[in-house]
Structure 1
Amino acid sequence: MDTTKNTKKIAKIFKKITTWQQKVVKLEAKEKKNNLDEYKINKLKEKITLYQKLSETYNEQGNEAKVKRAIIKEKHKRNQILYGNITQAIIIICFPLAVYALFNSFYSLIDSIMASRIKSAANASGVINISNIMVISQIKSMISAFGAGIAGGGAVLVSRYYGAANITDAKKTGSNMILVSIITSLIIIVLLVPLAPVILKIAQVPQISNSVILYFRLILVELIFVSINNIFIGLEKIKGNSKKILILNITVLIIKLILNVIFVFGIKVDSIIYLEIATIISQAALFIYSCFIMFSKKNMLQISFKNMRPQSIYIIPILKLSIPIFLGKFVMSLGKTTVNALCGSYYGEATNGLIVGALGVSNNLSGLVTNTTNVFEEGESTIVSQNIGNKNLYRTISAFIRTLAIVAIISLIGYICVRFIFIDQLTALFSIGNKESEKMSLYIKEIFVYDSLSIPSLGLTSALLGLLYGYGKTFLSSILNFSRIGIRIISLVVCHSIGLNYTAAGISMGISNILIGIMALCFLLFFLVNLKKKGYKGLYLSQKKQSEN
C-alpha cells in the first residue's frame, strides 16, 4: 500500500518538475531578460532541486525516509531566510503571525464583552468585570514576562546556531530553554499562589472577591502551559513554519471562543473564572500537541531529555539575553499596572470604577494594529539572528529596512481604520442598554482618541526592537521600555495636577509612545553608525556575502 502511494507521489513530483523545467527553458530563451525573469529562473531552479531531493526519499522505506523529507523541507525554508528574497522571507514568516495577532486582538475585545455579560449578586451590571480583568491582565503580563524573556532570548541563540548550520548546539539550547522555563514557572506558582489576595489588593483591583482571587490563581496555572507553548512557537518560527503556527493559534482561539459561548450564553455562569478555565483548556491542548512535535524525531530542532540536563554553556547565554528582555516586558507591564492604579485613584470615584476597564479596552483597540505590527519585530529578529550566524550583516540591515516599510504601511492603514472608520462600531459593542455600559462606551472612545496616537510610533519601535533583539542588544531595548513607563507615569501625574479629567489616561499613553518613537529613532541612528564603523564580532557591513533580492 505504501509503495503504491509513494509511486503516485513520485509521479506527481516529476510532473511538477517537468512543468518547471519547461518554464525555465522558455525564460532562458528570452533575448532580453529583466531582473524579474532572472528571479523567476532562480526560484524555479530552487524548486526543481528541492523536489528532486524529495523524490529520492520516496524510494526509501520506514520512518527514516519521513524524517529525511521533513529535514529537506526545513533546510529549504532555512535557505529562503539566508539566501532568498528577503521581502518574501519576511512575509512568509510574519504574515501568518500577523493574521493570528489580529484575530487574538479581536478575541481580547470579545473576551471583555463576554465578561460584561457575566452577572452575579455582587455585580449586578457585569461591567465592573471588565475593570477586574484589565487590571489582572497586566499582572498576568508582568508574570508571563519571565517565560516571554526566556523564549525571546533563547530563540535568538537558537536562530544563530541554526543560521550557522550548527544543529547540535541549536537542539541543546532549545532543550535548556524548556528546562529553565519549567523551573521558573514552578517557582512562580509556589511563591504567588498564597500571595494572590495581597497582590490583587496592591494592584487596586476594583472588586476583590473569592472568584476574582481564584481567577488570578488559575492564571498562574495557565502560565505553565503558555511558557512552554511560547518556546515551541519560537522554535517553529525559526524553521519558517509560520503557517503551522497560524493554524494552531487559530485553533486555540476557536476552542476558547466555543467554551466561552457555552459558559456565558449556554450555562449562564455567574463568575469570570469560567473564562479562565476555557483559556487553560485551550492552552493545554496546544501544550500536548507542542510536546509531541518538539520531541519528534522528524523535528530538526528536536528536544530531548538527554539534552535537557543543565549545562552552563547554554543556560548562561540564555539568561544573559533573556533577563534584559524579561526586565523590559516586566517593567512595561508594571508601569501599566501602576498607571491603572493611579487612574483608579484619580478618577475611579468620578467614573464609578469604570476608568480602568475603559483604559484597558482602549489599549486593546490600539492592539488591533500594534499587536499585528509587533509580530514583525519577532519575525525580523529571527531573520536577523540567522543571517548573523551566516556572517551576512548587510542582509540584516536589508531585513530591517523592508520590515520598517511594511510596518509603516500597516500602521498607517490600521490607524485610519480604528481611529476614524470603525471607532463608533467598536465602542458600541460595550453598550448593552444600561447607563453603566453606555458610560463605559463613552469613556473608551474619549480615551482612545489620544491613545491611538501611539500606533505609528509603536510601529517604528517594533521594527527597531526586532533589529536590536537579533543582534542581542537587549539592554538597549530594556532602556526603551523603562523610559516609556517613566514618561507615561510622569505625564499622567502632570495631566492630573493641572486638572485634566479622565482623558488624561489616554493623553499620557499617547505622549509616552510618541516620545519613545523619537527616542527609538535616535537609538537607531546611533546603532547604525556604530555598526558601520566598528562592525559586529569581526563582521562588517562592507562584506556583502550574497546579492540581495
Structure 2
Amino acid sequence: MEDSQEEPKKQIEDKSTELSKKDKEFREFTLNGSMWKVIWQVAMPLCLYQCLGQVFGVLDTMMASHISSNTVSAVAYLAQINSIISAVGGGLAIGASLKISEAYGQGKYDLLKKRVSTLYAMCGILSVFVLMLIPFANQVLAFAKTPVELIAEGSTYFRLQLFGMVVSFVNNVFIAIERARGETKLIMKLNIVVILAKTFLTALFVYVLHGNIVTMSLATIISQSLLMIVAVVRMKREHNAFGFSIKYVSFKKHLTWPMIVQSIPLIVERSLFSAGKLMVNSMSTLYGVLTVGALGVSNNLGGFAAAPQNGLQEGAASVISQNIGAGRYDRAMDAFKKVMVYNVAAGAIAYAIAMGFLPQISSMFAKNNPEFQQLIAEIFTYEAMGFIPLGINSSVMALLYGLGKTKISLIISMSRVFIFRVPVLWFLQQYTSLGSESVGIVMMVSNVSVAFVAILAAVIVIKKDKKRFKMMKAAI
C-alpha cells in the first residue's frame, strides 16, 4: 500500500524535470540540425538586440547632455563604477548558464533543474549584498575616488542604480537561461520593449517634465522592472526543467562549485576590462579634453561593429556548450568554424561602411567643430582596422566559453588591455612625439594583437581537447 502511494509522488516530481515539446525540438535541432541555420537562428536575434541597444545608448547620452554637462560627466563616471559591481551578476549569469547548457545537452534534466533553481537563489543572495551598499553610497563613491562635485550630483542617482542593479541581476539570469534553451527571439522582443520604454520615459522626464539625473535612473528601473515581471512569471509558471523550484535549490559543493569556478574568470574579466578602459581614458587626458572626447566617440562607434559580434559570441557559446555536453565534439568545432565565418563577415562589412562614410559619421558627433571632427576620424580610422581581428577574437571567446575554458578567456581579455593597450600607450607617450594619434594607434595595436593571442590559444586548446575527446570516445 505504501509503495502504491509513493509511486504517484515520484511521478509528479519527475514531471518537474521534464522538457516541454518546444525545448525537446530545440535540443534536437541544436544537436543535429544544419549548423549554419543553428548559429543563425540562435545568434541573429541577439545581434539585432545588441545593435539596437547601442543605438539607444547613444540617444540616452544625448538626452543626458540636455540636462547639463555635469550630468553627462556624472553618468559617464558612475557608469564605470556600476559596471564593475554589475560584472559580478553578469559574469555569474553567463558562466552558470553555460553549465546549464551543458546539462541540457547531456540530457540530465534533474541536474538542469537544480542548476537553474540554485542560480536564481545565488542571484537572490548577491542582491542582498548589493542592497546593503545603499546606505553607504557616499563612502563607496569616495573610495572609488569620485570627484566631490560628482558625488553631490550623483549620490542619489547611484543609490537608485544599486537598486536597479538588483533588478538587472534577475533579468540577467532569466536572459541567460532563456538563451540556453534557444529562446533568443523572445529575449530580443522583451529587450526591445525595455529599450523603447526606457527611451520614452527618459525623454518624458527630461524634455517634458524637465527632470534631472535621478529621474533618468527611475526611467531605467521602471523599464527594467517590466522585464523582471515577465521573468518572475515565467520562472514560476513553467513546471519543467527550466523552471524554478525551491525544492531543487542546493548549495552543495558538487553543484555550485562548477558554476562558480566557470563564472569567476568572467566576473574578473569584465571588472578589470572596465577598470582598464578607465585607465586609458585617464592617460589620454595628456592630449587634452578633445582627444578624450574623440576616443569616447570612437569607442561608441566601434561598439556598432562589436554589437553583432557579441551577439554571435553569446549564441555560439551556448550551442558549443550544449554539443559538448552531448559528447558531440566534432559538431562543437563545426559551430566554432561557422561562427568564425559569420564574425569575420560582420567585421568586414562594418569596416567597409565605416571607411565609406567616415566624413559623414565623424561630422555627426563634431557639432561643426572641424578640429574635433578630424580627431574623431583619425582615431576611428585606426580603431576600425581592428573590426575583423575582433571578429576572430570573438569567435575564439565563444569556443572557450563553450568549452568552459573561462580562465584562458580571462588571460586573453586582460592581455588586450594590460599588455597591448596601457603599456603601449605609456611607451608612445614617453618615447614618441605622435600626439593624439597615439590613442588611435593603441586601439589598433591592442585589437589586432589580441586576435593573434586568441588564435594561438584556440590552436592549443583544440589540439589538447581533440586528443582528450578521442580517448574518451575510444573508452566508450
Return the TM-score normalized by structure 1. 0.78
2:319 is matched with 383
- Give 1:250-269 correspondences, 5 Å limit: 250-269=192-211
One-letter code aligned to 1:456: I
Higher fraction of helix: 2
Which of 96, 102, 109 is matched with 1:154 structurally?
Answer: 96
- C-alpha displacement at 1:290, in angstroms? 0.6
Q: Determine the structure 1 residue equivalent to 2:232.
A: 291
What is the rounded CA distance, in whole Å, between the counterparts of 2:49 and 2:280 in structure 1? 28
For 1:105, the equivalent position in structure 2 comes to 54
Describe how 1:62-81 pairs up with structure 2 within 5 A.
71-81=20-30
Q: 1:460 to 1:329 in 2, by over 3 A?
A: same
Q: Say whether 1:530 aligns with 2:461.
A: no
- Residue among 191, 203, 214 paired with 1:273: 214
SS at match of 2:246: coil
Q: Cα–Cα, structure 1 residues 170 and 214, in superposed 2: closer, same or farther, change >3 Å? A: same
Pick the aligned partner of 2:167 from 225, 237, 247.
Answer: 225
Identity %: 30
Q: Paired residue for 2:45?
A: 96
Give the Cα–Cα distance (whole angstroms) in 2 for the partners of residues 318 and 420 of structure 1: 42
- 1:394-433 correspondence to structure 2 within 5 Å: 394-417=330-353, 419-431=354-366
Is structure 2 residue 432 aligned with structure 1 residue 490? no
Distance in 1 between the 2:371 and 2:332 partners?
48
* Counterpart residue identity of residue 333, structure 2: I
Amino acid at match of 2:380: F
- Deviation string 1:403-459 (CA, Å, 9 cap, x unpaired) is 100111011101221x223444444443557x7xx7655543333222222222211
From 474, 489, 493, the counterpart of 2:406? 474
Q: Which moved more, 1:96-105 or 1:493-502?
A: 493-502
CA distance in 1, matches of 2:127, 2:374: 39
Q: Show the counterpart of 1:22.
A: none
Greater relative CO, 1 or 2 (CA 8 Å, sep 6+)? 2
> 1: CA distance between counterparts of 2:438 and 2:90?
30
8 Å Cα contact 1:385/1:471 also seen in 2 = yes
CA-to-partner distance for each residue in 1:152-181, whole Å, 9 max, x for gaps? Answer: 111111111111121111111011111222
Contact 1:131-1:206 within 8 A present in 2 as well: no
Match of 1:457 in 2: 389
One-letter code aligned to 2:453: M
Question: Using the alignment, how far apart are the partners of 1:314 and 1:69 within structure 2?
Answer: 19
Whether 1:208 aligns to 2:142 is no
Deviation at 1:322, TM superposition (A): 0.6
Tell me, yes or no, if structure 1 residue 318 matches structure 2 residue 250.
Answer: no
The C-alpha deviation readout for 1:27-82, integer Å capped at 9, x for no partner, is xxxxxxxxxxxxxxxxxxxxxxxxxxxxxxxxxxxxxxxx9998112211111001
Structure 2 portions without partners, runs of 5+: 1-15
How far does the alpha carbon of each residue in 1:318-362 deviate from its partner, in whole angstroms, 9 at most, with x for none? 111111111111111111122222223x24xx32xx544443332
Distance of aligned partners of 1:525 and 1:184 in 2 relative to their CA distance in 1, 3 Å threshold? same
Cα distance in 1 for residues equivalent to 2:364 and 2:307:
20
8 Å Cα contact 2:137/2:155 also seen in 1: no
2:270 pairs with 321, 329, 340, which one?
329
Shift in alpha-carbon separation, 1:526–1:155, aligned structure 2, 3 A: same
Letter in 2 for 1:160: E
Aligned AA (1:490)? P
Aligned residue pair count: 459
- One-letter code aligned to 1:367: G
* 1:185-211 per-position Cα deviation (integer Å, ceiling 9, x unaligned): 332342476254654674566951422
- 1:86 touches 1:398 (CA, 8 Å); kept in 2? yes
Q: Which of 15, 33, 42 does residue 84 from structure 1 map onto?
A: 33
Q: Is the Cα–Cα contact under 8 Å of residues 71 and 153 in structure 2 kept in the other structure?
A: no
Q: Which residue of 2 aligns with 1:368?
A: 304
- Contact kept? 2:17, 2:113, Cα under 8 Å: no
Q: Is the 8 A contact 1:201 1:208 kept in 2?
A: no
Contact in 1 for aligned 2:18/2:109 (Cα 8 Å): no
Secondary structure of the structure 2 residue equivalent to 1:530 = helix
Kept after mapping to 2: 8 A contact 1:130/1:357: no
Whole-Å separation in 1 of the counterparts to 2:74 and 2:268: 25
Letter in 2 for 1:495: L
- The SS at the match of 2:150 is coil
Supply the distance in 2 between the matched residues of 1:185 and 1:340 (Cα, whole angstroms): 30
Offset, 1:279: 1.3
The farther-off stretch of 399-408 and 71-80 is 71-80
Q: 1:533 Cα shift?
A: 2.8
RMSD of aligned Cα (Å): 2.6
Task: Identify the range of structure 1 (324-333 vs 399-408) with the bigger mean alpha-carbon deviation.
Answer: 324-333
Instruction: Give the structure 2 partner of residue 509 of structure 1.
Output: 443
Contact kept in structure 1, 2:110 and 2:241, CA below 8 Å = no
Cα deviation code 1:70-127 (max 9, x no counterpart) = 81122111110011111111111000110000000111111122222223xxxxxx3x
User: Using the alignment, how far apart are the partners of 2:470 and 2:299 within structure 1?
Assistant: 37
Q: Which runs of 5+ in 1 are unaligned?
A: 1-66, 120-125, 544-549
